[in-house]
Amino acid sequence: MSNGTKKGYSVPIGPIHPALKEPILFTFTMNGEKVEEVDFAPGKAHRGIEWMGMRRNPVQIVHLTDRICGICGVSHTLAFSRAVEQVAEIEVPERGHYVRTIIAEYERIQSHLLWAGVAAHELGFDTLFFLAWRVREESMDVIELLTGNRVNYGIIQVGGVRRDITEDQFPRIEASLRYYEDLLGKMLELFLHDTTITMRCRNTGLMNRREALELCTVGPTARASGLNLDVRQDSPYAAYGDLDVRAVMPEQYLGEAYGDVYDRIVVRLLEVKQSVEIIRQCLDMMPPGPVQFETKIPKLLATCKKAVGEAVGRVEAPRGEALHYVRMDGHENPQTWKVKASTYSNQMSWLKMLRGEQLADVPIIVASIDPCMSCTDRVTVVRDGHSDVMTKEGLHRLSVEKTRRLMQ
């Protein structure tokens, strides 16, 4: 692609990316193959959810938050519910906390495996992509068994959960945990000891601890850069306080954190293992009792309506911290509601990670912060006034070709 071009040219990527929860427009200023400057413009899928929420009551909003993201449906609802519970001083029954934790951890398993598959696909390793997505189905099946839905679970309610996990479901849950335990060694071997993946991901998309802190990153992206930040550990919510969860850091596996794409794979895969352990502990420790503070919706709404005050609800979503700020002023609807998704915090890190990298590495670096498919639906390369339209397949091919070159 670089024919000794002297002046830089710009490469827009986007704005349509079917797999991202937010389609986004990237503009790269290129010098040959090298990315010199990065800019991005989100907001292609702004739905005004906060505006809608400020005109609805908390029980209605819970269903809205389920739909903020298709992957972390539980996280946003849990963060919102926790904020409302703090304002209204609602105490969730202990069993409710455990059910919330189990669902949240299953969500993490399915999200991380989905991301691992996408990462493999972006590198041109499609057999691994198929494997990761096939094994992800196990967690989706359990989520369906527990909540009735594969996505938009609709299980969290303000003050607890809407469905209990019963004793007869335990053997099925246990079977899925064993399935993942048996599998994990194989997944680690395939992802972390593969020459091609190591060559493509090591020292790609670098970000150090200081930069991760200054750019306000969260979740596996921050932890891979050595920033010890995990809401489950720092401000334990639901049942996490009983379990003494510790953040997964890449140095636990390799003794050293580089802050590259490879470390982000390490963190996510080890978190699957951690999630399996958390779910097993929850099943063992689950206290008996109700799961919902108040099952009668009018009574629940009356409690929320009386509440006056403000609170922040934070949850560690698969991608990082989800933060909801709620202010209630004695009306049915919240006076103010602010949603902060994990990607909101992580997007600034792209600017750092992508600078100086090759165009062929863009798909994997962009995908490395977000467990969704890379954003590259269509690329228009404008050079000397001519423009070629480059499809996602074209960019993907570039990435695969780079892998092949490295293999030779």
Binding site for other proteins (CB under 8 A): 41-43, 46, 48, 50-51, 54, 82, 86, 92, 94, 97, 213-218, 227-229, 233-242, 244, 246-247, 285, 287, 310-312, 314, 321, 323, 325, 327, 335-336, 338, 340, 344-345, 347-348
For the CB of residue 10, give the shortest distance to other proteins in the complex, in Å: 16
Q: Which is nearer to other proteins, 54 or 183 (CB)?
A: 54
For the CB of residue 243, give the shortest distance to other proteins in the complex, in Å: 9
For the CB of residue 227, give the shortest distance to other proteins in the complex, in Å: 8
For the CB of residue 193, give the shortest distance to other proteins in the complex, in Å: 29
For the CB of residue 185, give the shortest distance to other proteins in the complex, in Å: 29
Q: Which is nearer to other proteins, 201 or 323 (CB)?
A: 323
Q: Which is nearer to other proteins, 69 or 116 (CB)?
A: 69
Q: Which is nearer to other proteins, 97 or 121 (CB)?
A: 97
Q: Which is nearer to other proteins, 185 or 330 (CB)?
A: 330
For the CB of residue 282, give the shortest distance to other proteins in the complex, in Å: 11
Q: Which is nearer to other proteins, 342 or 374 (CB)?
A: 342
Q: Which is nearer to other proteins, 27 or 198 (CB)?
A: 27
For the CB of residue 342, give the shortest distance to other proteins in the complex, in Å: 11
Question: Are the CB atoms for 329 and 196 separated by under 8 Å?
Answer: no
